[in-house]
Amino acid sequence: MISEQHFASSFTSLWHEIIPLADTYWRRENLKVVRQVLPIDNVAPVNLRGFLNELAFETFSRARCAGLQPKREVILSIAQQSIESVAGYILRITKNEGSAALFLDDLCKEEIFGLTRNLMLSFPDNKNFDIRPKFSGCGVVSACEGDLIYKDCLYEIKAGDRGFRVSDVKQLLIYSSLAFSKGELSFSKVGLFNPRNGYYWERTLDRLCVELSGMRASDVLSNIAGSMTQLAISR
Cβ partners under 8 Å of residue 172, min gap 6: 154, 156, 190, 191, 192
What is the distance between the alpha carbons of residues 74 and 77, in angstroms, rounded to a whole number?
5
Tally the C-alpha atoms within 13 A of residue 91's C-alpha that lie toward its C-beta.
Answer: 11
CB 70 within 8 Å of CB 120: yes
pLDDT, tens digit (0-9, with 9 covering 90-100), for 84-93: 999 999 999 8
DSSP lists the bridge partners of residue 202 as 191
Q: Could you give the angle at the alpha carbon of 82 between the alpha carbons of 76 and 86, nearest 5°?
A: 125
| Model confidence band, residue 209 (pLDDT cutoffs 50, 70, 90) | very high
| Model confidence band, residue 71 (pLDDT cutoffs 50, 70, 90) | very high
SS3 for 194?
Answer: coil
Q: Is the pLDDT of residue 235 over 70?
A: no
Q: Most distant CA pair in the chain: distance in Å?
A: 54
| Model confidence band, residue 121 (pLDDT cutoffs 50, 70, 90) | very high
Higher pLDDT, 9 or 126: 9
Region 64-76: mean pLDDT is 93
Element (H, E) at 202: strand 199-204
Q: Could you tell me the pTM of the whole model?
A: 0.94
Reference 149, options 168, 135, 169, 133; nearest CA is 133
What is the distance between the alpha carbons of residues 29 and 181, in angstroms, rounded to a whole number?
27
Q: Is the pLDDT of residue 128 over 90?
A: no
